[in-house]
Structure 1
Amino acid sequence: MTKDIKVAIIGVGGVGKAFISQLANFIDRNRSSASVSVVYISRSSAALISKNYQPLSLTAFVPEQLDAAGAPPLSVPDLIQFLKGSGGEAILIDNTSSIDLANQYPDFLNAGIHIATPNKKGFSSEKKLWDDIFAAAGNNGGTGGYVFHEASVGAGLPVISTVKDLVDTGDEITKVEGVFSGTMSFLFNEFAPVGSSDPPRAFSEVVKVAKDAGYTEPDPRDDLNGLDVARKLTILARLSGLDIASPTSFPVQSLIPKPLESASSSQEFMDGLPNFDGDIGKLADDAKREGKVVRFVGSIDVPSKAVKVGLEKFDVSHPIAGLKGSDNIIAFYTKRYGDRALIVQGAGAGAEVTAMGVLSDVIKIIARIK
């Protein structure tokens, strides 16, 4: 019997557009096993709504279609009722970074609506929200919809699924360590490359290169404050069994110079950053004299319940030191694997790979729907 599944998509930025394209291809390839129809697409200001639950066209979708539709987005209660009114299974795709929407995940799940999302906020904010989500989730013993969030850590890399497989099969995770940010990976691979004979570049110059290339947020302080990495560590620590209150409840090193924290704009911050190149330059020089490089990493020590984010020195032969471009690398040390870590490495950022992670979660949900 063909499964009838309605899909609502919120967020049509880079990841959202890539996801819509990938979902359209998936639907074309799998019509015989599942009837998947997108019936709602929205962003903060406008929405496309299929009043009769007929599939919206995904062919060559562009966000401007939302404006042309002239419809405001549905409120969360109205969206829940709309999806329940279809009479079948429904999946919410949250491609935003909205904490307000994440706060409503338990309402969707308790209504039997499944969720696939790359949004870190729902899983790394206050512990109560995490508890409420998984108390409702059908794939965690609850009676509500299923929830999957693979792309909230590592984009399309199998990071969360690896942790869950280790834990669910009875292994004991002792330590997790790695480079969790594509932006920070690029910055330090460029700033302190292994084996380079070129004169060292100023850190502010590398930040500008990364910003101009689109590797950073529009305001680089949103990357340099370390909070993005802290959110990912919070998720992995919780999955590993630690009771982490929030991403600000453990040490997180910010690379924003104190005097620039209050800069009124991104440009003011960038203009002032060269004045502080000497501080981080000295750290890199000290590491080089020891035959090491500096990298911005996160680590979780499960037995001691210690979680931290910041700069660390690594021997040039260490896998973390040898990363290229904006790759991520996450090493899992467990009782079964011993001293030889299980390593997941690859592109940990980008619209296409993040969308792939979300689509893989949709496929997991479809497979579980009876």
Structure 2
Amino acid sequence: MKVLKFGGTSVGSSKNINNVINILENYGKDDSIACVVSAVGGITDKLLLAGKQAQNKDRNFVKTFEFIKEKHLSIIKALNPDNNLSILKYAEGRHNSLKNLLEGIFLINELSPKTSDKLVSYGERLSSFIIAGTMMNRGLSAGRKNTQKLIITNSNYTKAEVDYSITNQNIKDYFSSAPQNITILPGFVASSKTGEQTTLGRGGSDFTAAIIAAALHVEQLEIWTDVSGMFTTNPKLVKQAYPIEKISYQEAMELSHFGAKVLYPPTVQPVLSLDIPIHIKNTLEPDAAGTVISNEDIKSSNPVKGISNINNIALLTLEGSGMVGIPGFSKRLFETLSQEKINVIMITQASSEHSICLGIEDKESKNAKNAIDAVFENEIALGKIEPIIIETGLSIIALVGDNMKNHQGISGKMFSSLGKNNINIRAIAQGASEKNITAVIDEKDIKKALNTLHEQFFESKTKQLNVFITGVGNVGERLVEQIKQQKKYLKDNLKINLRVAGLSNSRTMVFDETGLDLTDWNTQLANGEKASLQDFFEKTRALNLRNSIFVDVTANADVANLYPQYLRESIAIVACNKIACSSDYNNYKELKRLSLKYNAPYLFETNVGAGLPVIDTLSNLIASGDKVNTIQAVLSGSLNFVFNNFTDKTKFYDIVKQAGAEGYTEPDPRIDLSGVDVARKILILARESGFKMNLEDIENTSFLSESGLKSDTVDDFYQTLIADEAHYQSLYASAKLNNCQLKYVAKFDNGKASVGLQEIPEGHPFYNLEGSDNIVMFYTERYPKQPMIIKGAGAGADVTASGLFADIIRLGND
């Protein structure tokens, strides 16, 4: 004998019912079957709605009734196109009876629990008759038995209690002589000892199946639903979630209590007490393995079995110094909630006895507050306790596993991973059995929290990074292409799942929380919404994705001014924009402080040497206890390119134009040629070395002509380069005469910094610096005479993009 139960979705359409019939036909070839079915998906809710409408004198109950009627009739006709008269006749009788009942509710303006049970019973009674009738029409050995004749209860309407002595005997007697192989039974419904219709409450169809399975002592109870078992977490919110093959009763009940909808724990008590396994299967994928729930000792390397959650939670806090050492507060609190029929989902109490926190359903919070404040009115008036505090818009998230108690560090990993993603925890509870760790968080963070914890405990150490890039110009385009090219490599070799979730240029922006398709990102961006720096931030924040990284590929002060907003949301920043780090010293330190406070890394390697590891090297020196004394550097790839190509046979104007065309200078070349860009770089290195400096503290000796310095526009500036060619040729001639090379040098020495064009003699490390290469020499206490030298390409879109990419990867490896 096998007992199967099919839920509302499984019997929600003619297509799904055909799947059910196929499954039953296959099972019935080898064994006799008891099949419990729910109402057609959505019908129970519609019945309750019709009842409420009728009670409230709302004639729309007629429309709701007609929907219920048509739903059943359409299914009957689709299942039985040629032979449906007997089923239609039965359905017509039930529908007429239902309509009369609703009319009665409308007339007397009342919907009692007793009447409610009669009302909702129509769903299961109709679905079971339709399925059984269809199977008989198709020549299968099937029949229907009304469960109201088998399961006997008391008269506690809407949640009746079963009389097992009578019920078990009824079930045994019936199935010992049932003539058909397959018996279809309506779930949820029963009858009282006096013959009145009753129902078994929430999860009633599961309960019906469990009662029958226990009475018949079957080897296994199968519950068929629309998912392939119990998942590691909610698959609608976490795409990487997967079915759990085996799980204990205790783990399944913990997960179900905290929101897993596949199973309602109280309803399976009959089979649990007899140690009958429950197999969760998928009607739409009958060959899928599903989940087996049993008392088997399941060995697993992962102590965590699943992550579950409940939304729409309110947190009630009762606190006050008058509670300390005084017995009876907890008793009065819980009695009050019990009298109001308010279910407590979670409890946590401080060891000081100064406060008690309770998690309840949000919709019950006002009623709870009014009742508790009334009970403790005297203590509140005397100042012994505070009025009850209510926080709404919360969710409970729970980590579940039988073996968690035997593994150290589970809670540490849980709270650390949540904290790194700016998920604030409002309350924590852990039972003495240590089968679950529960935390209360903001409901808006639930998706990020589930994904973060699932990645931590169930995925093969693959870390997902969600990147939002502003400034998709020359360098930005290269960065996106590099990400596209290396995406598979990163996942396979570094276990980093890198997704570009947002892109913006000066005109448009586009977002996709699942990651943009980088094979066609140009088209997506071109068709995006109008760009706005503030809107880009707001959208990034609203998506609330774990491990979010904002990448600034601009030279825009307005973008830099938004950094604090990103950091406060625990969104990491990777930037080649030098403005923030070279702004006022207090602003620089504030960004550093925010980065630490909100656990949001702020990386800006490309601020100084494009793709060269200049800042990373300097940070390692400082962290290891070394001290920087002097820095000498050529830090402008654009200026190095200019002076490496400028001779007495070329024109300065042509070389500067060429540098711009090849992407070595900013669109406004004055930023590079004025030395401001180099001054910012040496300032950043000085600050990272531990010195307090501002940009105005750096001596900047310009090589530009006076007219070039005074030019108002880029076009005017280029005209001065043509007019003042003799000035620039004189600089070259002087260097040539002295057998030197012209290099724009930045220097920091004992707290003072300067930048300017210098004639570098032969033999100096800067002399043979070619193309757009940069070079940095660190003289430290450990390198006092022979400096640590970093040298390589210091400008260009590809190397700058690779520097940004390296910072992103660094975050993935943290």
1:228 matches 2:683? no
Q: Is the Cα contact below 8 Å between 2:466 and 2:549 reproduced in 1?
A: yes
**Alpha-carbon distance between aligned partners in 1 of 2:667 and 2:588, rounded to the nearest angstrom:** 29
Report the equivalent of 2:557: 99
Q: Is the Cα contact below 8 Å between 1:92 and 1:115 reproduced in 2?
A: yes
1:165 matches 2:644? no
Report the equivalent of 1:39: 501
* AA in 2 matched with 1:68: N
Q: Which has the higher mean CA deviation after the structures are superposed, 170-179 or 36-45?
A: 36-45
* AA in 2 matched with 1:343: I
Q: Is the Cα contact below 8 Å between 1:17 and 1:61 reproduced in 2?
A: no
Change (3 A) 1:352 1:207: closer
**SS of structure 2 residue aligned to 1:314:** strand
Aligned residues: 351
* AA in 2 matched with 1:170: G
Q: Is the Cα contact below 8 Å between 2:610 and 2:800 reproduced in 1?
A: yes
1:255 matches 2:715? no
**Alpha-carbon distance between aligned partners in 1 of 2:496 and 2:637, rounded to the nearest angstrom:** 35
**Alpha-carbon distance between aligned partners in 2 of 1:39 and 1:214, rounded to the nearest angstrom:** 27
**Alpha-carbon distance between aligned partners in 1 of 2:740 and 2:629, rounded to the nearest angstrom:** 25
**Alpha-carbon distance between aligned partners in 2 of 1:41 and 1:205, rounded to the nearest angstrom:** 35
Change (3 A) 1:220 1:36: closer
* AA in 1 matched with 2:548: A
Change (3 A) 1:40 1:210: closer
The match for 1:337 among 771, 780, 783 is 783
Report the equivalent of 1:349: 795
Q: Is the Cα contact below 8 Å between 1:333 and 1:340 reproduced in 2?
A: yes
Q: Is the Cα contact below 8 Å between 1:211 and 1:217 reproduced in 2?
A: yes
Extract unaligned runs of 5+ from structure 1: 193-198
The match for 1:11 among 454, 471, 480 is 471
The match for 1:321 among 767, 770, 790 is 767
Report the equivalent of 1:122: 580
**Alpha-carbon distance between aligned partners in 2 of 1:222 and 1:318, rounded to the nearest angstrom:** 27
Q: Deviations over 1:257-292 (max 9, x none)?
A: 222334344333323324433334334433433333
Q: Is the Cα contact below 8 Å between 2:479 and 2:802 reproduced in 1?
A: yes
TM-score (norm 1): 0.87
Q: Is the Cα contact below 8 Å between 2:663 and 2:796 reproduced in 1?
A: no
**SS of structure 2 residue aligned to 1:59:** helix
* AA in 2 matched with 1:117: A
Report the equivalent of 1:133: 591
Q: Deviations over 1:74-127 (max 9, x none)?
A: 52551353242x3x2211111111221212212211211111121111111111
Change (3 A) 1:206 1:37: closer
* CA positional deviation for 1:359: 1.1
* AA in 2 matched with 1:23: I
1:189 matches 2:635? no
Q: Which has the higher mean CA deviation after the structures are superposed, 152-161 or 216-225?
A: 216-225
Q: Which has the higher mean CA deviation after the structures are superposed, 177-186 or 30-39?
A: 30-39
**Alpha-carbon distance between aligned partners in 2 of 1:266 and 1:146, rounded to the nearest angstrom:** 36
**Alpha-carbon distance between aligned partners in 1 of 2:517 and 2:679, rounded to the nearest angstrom:** 38
**Alpha-carbon distance between aligned partners in 2 of 1:119 and 1:214, rounded to the nearest angstrom:** 16
**Alpha-carbon distance between aligned partners in 1 of 2:537 and 2:808, rounded to the nearest angstrom:** 22
Q: Is the Cα contact below 8 Å between 1:111 and 1:144 reproduced in 2?
A: no
Q: Is the Cα contact below 8 Å between 1:83 and 1:90 reproduced in 2?
A: no
Report the equivalent of 1:295: 743
Report the equivalent of 1:70: 529
Change (3 A) 1:296 1:72: closer
Alignment of 1:19-38 (within 5 A): 19-31=479-491, 33-38=495-500
Instruction: Please give the root-mean-square deviation of Cα atoms over the aligned residues, in Å.
Output: 2.2
* CA positional deviation for 1:27: 2.3
Larger gyration radius, structure 1 or structure 2 = 2
- Tell me the percent identity: 33
* AA in 1 matched with 2:519: T
TM-score (norm 2): 0.41
Q: Which has the higher mean CA deviation after the structures are superposed, 73-82 or 148-157?
A: 73-82
Q: Deviations over 1:295-334 (max 9, x none)?
A: 2111111x2x110010122211212111111111111111
* CA positional deviation for 1:230: 0.9
**SS of structure 2 residue aligned to 1:16:** helix
Report the equivalent of 1:143: 598
* CA positional deviation for 1:214: 4.6
* AA in 2 matched with 1:169: S
**Alpha-carbon distance between aligned partners in 2 of 1:42 and 1:212, rounded to the nearest angstrom:** 23
Q: Is the Cα contact below 8 Å between 1:102 and 1:121 reproduced in 2?
A: yes
Q: Is the Cα contact below 8 Å between 1:94 and 1:116 reproduced in 2?
A: yes
Q: Considering Cα pairs closer than 8 Å and 6+ residues apart, tell me whether 1 or 2 has the greater RCO.
A: 1
**Alpha-carbon distance between aligned partners in 1 of 2:498 and 2:664, rounded to the nearest angstrom:** 34
Q: Which has the higher mean CA deviation after the structures are superposed, 2-11 or 223-232?
A: 2-11
Report the equivalent of 2:321: none
**SS of structure 1 residue aligned to 2:478:** helix
* AA in 1 matched with 2:538: D
Report the equivalent of 1:238: 687
Q: Is the Cα contact below 8 Å between 1:6 and 1:83 reproduced in 2?
A: no
**SS of structure 2 residue aligned to 1:93:** strand
Structure with the largest fraction of helix: 2
Change (3 A) 1:216 1:361: closer
* CA positional deviation for 1:26: 3.0
Report the equivalent of 2:721: 273
Report the equivalent of 1:196: none
Change (3 A) 1:116 1:207: closer
**Alpha-carbon distance between aligned partners in 2 of 1:220 and 1:256, rounded to the nearest angstrom:** 12
* AA in 2 matched with 1:27: K
